[in-house]
Amino acid sequence: MREIVAAYLRRIERDPAKAAVALYPYLTRHPRRVAEEPKLILIDPRISFGKAILVTAGVPTAIIADRNSAGEAIPELAEDYGCQASEIEKA
């Protein structure tokens, strides 16, 4: 149990005073896979007013979701943002 909690806590960035400043939310539901999951999504109040962003593209995930909902294909979005289609799917 301790390892699982530690894996989740490693996804929180802290400042020198140990205050939480950024979070990389997990995208998998299996607690054993959290430690190996890449940090694709970032929530940081200093960036985009704390909106979730796709780290590799620096774009809010809401924009990606809106464009996809409007009918744009995932491969097209990946090309536009210069990232992998799998990253767009997870965003």
Confidence of residue 43 (pLDDT cuts 50, 70, 90): very high
How far, in Å, CA of 74 to CA of 59, rounded?
15
* CATH number of this structure's domain 2-90: 1.10.10
pLDDT the model gives residue 9: 87
Q: Is residue 28 within 8 Å of residue 38, measured between CB atoms?
A: no
In the predicted structure, residue 40 carries a pLDDT above the cut 80: yes
pTM over 0.85: no
